[in-house]
Amino acid sequence: MALDLAFVRSQFPALADGFAYMDNAGGSVVLRNVAERVGDYLLTTSVQTGASYAHSQRATARLAEARARIALMLNAGRPEEIVLGPSTTVLCQNLARAMLSRLKPGDEIIVTDFDHESNIGPWRWLERFGIVIREWKIGRDDVEIDLAALDALLGERTRLVAVTHASNILGTINPVAEIARRVHAVGAEIIVDAVAYAPHRVVDVTGWDVDYYVFSFYKTYGPHFAVMYGKYDKLVELDTLYHYFYERDKVPAKLEPGNTNYELAWGSAGIVDYLDALGGRTGDRAAIVRAFDDIAAQEVALADRLLGFLGSRNDIRIVGRPDAGIDRRVPTVSFKVEGANSADLVHKVDREQIGIRHGDFHSRRLVEALGLADEGGVMRASLVHYNTLEEVDRLIAALERALAGR
Ligand SMILES: Cc1ncc(COP(=O)(O)O)c(C=O)c1O
């Protein structure tokens, strides 16, 4: 089935203004039903959960339903495996704190130099407790990850590997199931940052056998809010971040100190309703899978057009894979124009009612490792399924004008 683009775009009120939103890896625009659900929650059920009176019971039921819907989206085994929080950064920091009593000096954690800092910094912070940090580096020439290099870092002291599912700069989709297999073979755990992946392809935490998996809803058509999946048995083992009486099996509450944001939880579940509508309204996992099949097909067409243009210019370097293969990359497309300042070019594109961006996007280690930090960093056009081929053509024409005027 092809994506019904008219239906898709009608679900995002912000798209009606004609502006071409191509900074989606920074933040997508929001679904109407998500915003309506947040408003409805605040206006009708904004009371404390857990009491016996009717309104509180309704609020409790809504929160439970939201968790179950989000669990379906991730293919988690049970709603208790869904930990909610304000952002991916905070959820990673919380997880690091909650692991403290399990870690011993000399234990090793592998981080990458190609992740967003949110999935590096919290783990490096553990160095002050005697944890040894090892770095899995991106290939400097081919800009690809090397599984043999990971194997060389894994050992009997490895406790955790922190890796991104898709880089927010390169767009490359990393083989998380294969990485998880290698990590588990040495008895370690894996935490995957899926912020730059989840808006584009179906998530399947059970199928991939990952231990922890985190992403932010504000890049996935929802509000500024985030989710971390954790295997139930692993969550039980973590330290409580809440009051002392939130013991071992008070999962996920012990990892959501101070009450989670109910209205944003209820609102975020609206993303799942949207996916269900795209997938034929069967209310099950199959609908979500179908939705992402159509989303992926649209995104490949968009990326193909943009990458084709960028690849045709010998003054432009694509930072990432040059082809749009469905399993190979998401349509987050970074590039550098030879001899030009990325900021200058982006400012020219701004004037044409097109939102792209430049910099290091908090993946500073990657941009520095590739020697691309100077002159405004890289330029990035990050597309999602609601973008159109016409918008991509507008961007191409705007870039051509900006390049001609250098
Ligand atoms: C890949 C990736 N990981 C993590 C983050 C941080 O997300 P949050 O703002 O929810 O902490 C971002 C935000 O840009 C990102 O792109």
45 lines ligand 1 (CB under 6 A): no
- Say if 281 falls within a structural domain: no
Same domain, 38 and 92: yes
- Ligand 1 atom with least separation from CA of 26: 14
Clarify whether residues 139 and 241 are in a common domain.
yes
Residues 21 and 47 in one domain: no
Give the DSSP letter of residue 217.
G
For the Cβ of 87 lying below 6 angstroms from any atom of ligand 1, the answer is yes
Ligand 1 atom with the smallest distance to the CA of 25 is 16
Ligand 1 atom at minimal distance to the Cα of residue 166:
1
Query: In this structure, what token pair is assigned to residue 118?
Result: 């949110």
Q: Using a 6 Å cutoff on CB, does residue 216 contact ligand 1?
A: yes
Please give the average per-residue pLDDT across 239-245, as a whole number: 97
pTM of the entire predicted model: 0.98
Q: Is the pLDDT of residue 109 over 90?
A: yes
Residue 116 CB less than 6 A away from ligand 1 = yes
pLDDT, tens digit (0-9, with 9 covering 90-100), for 138-153:
999 999 999 999 999 9
Average pLDDT, the chain: 97
Is 75 within a domain? yes
| Pair 237, 340 in one domain | no
| Ligand 1 atom nearest to 362, measured from its CA | 14
- For residues 15 and 159, membership in a common domain is answered with no
Paired tokens of 78: 């049970």
Q: Print the domain residue range for 42.
A: 34-275
In a domain, 226, yes or no: yes
State how far the Cα of 42 lies from the Cα of 266, in Å rounded to an integer: 10
Name the residue with higher pLDDT: 1 or 57: 57
* 73 and 105 belong to one structural domain: yes
**Which CATH number does the domain housing residue 341 bear?**
3.90.1150.10
88 pocket-lining for ligand 1 (C-beta < 6 Å): yes
Reported as a single tens digit per residue, the pLDDT across 186-209 is 999 999 999 999 999 999 999 999
Residue to probe by mutation, ligand 1, list 24, 118, 176, 365, most atoms within 8 Å of CB: 118
Residue 406 pLDDT level (bands cut at 50, 70, 90): confident
Helix axes of 389-404 and 285-312: crossing angle, nearest 10 degrees: 30
Side-chain-facing half-sphere of 47: CA atoms under 13 Å:
14
pLDDT number for residue 261: 97
Tally Cβ neighbours within 10 Å of residue 18. Answer: 7
- Token pair, residue 300, equals 């490949």
Mark whether 227 and 148 lie in a shared domain: yes
pLDDT, one tens digit per residue, over 313-359 is 999 999 999 999 899 999 999 999 999 999 999 999 999 999 999 99
Number of separate domains in the chain: 2
Residues 183 and 125 in one domain: yes
Residue minimizing CA distance to atom 13 of ligand 1: 26
Cα 62 to Cα 60: distance, rounded to the nearest angstrom: 5
pLDDT at 405 over 90: no
Average pLDDT over residues 143-165: 98
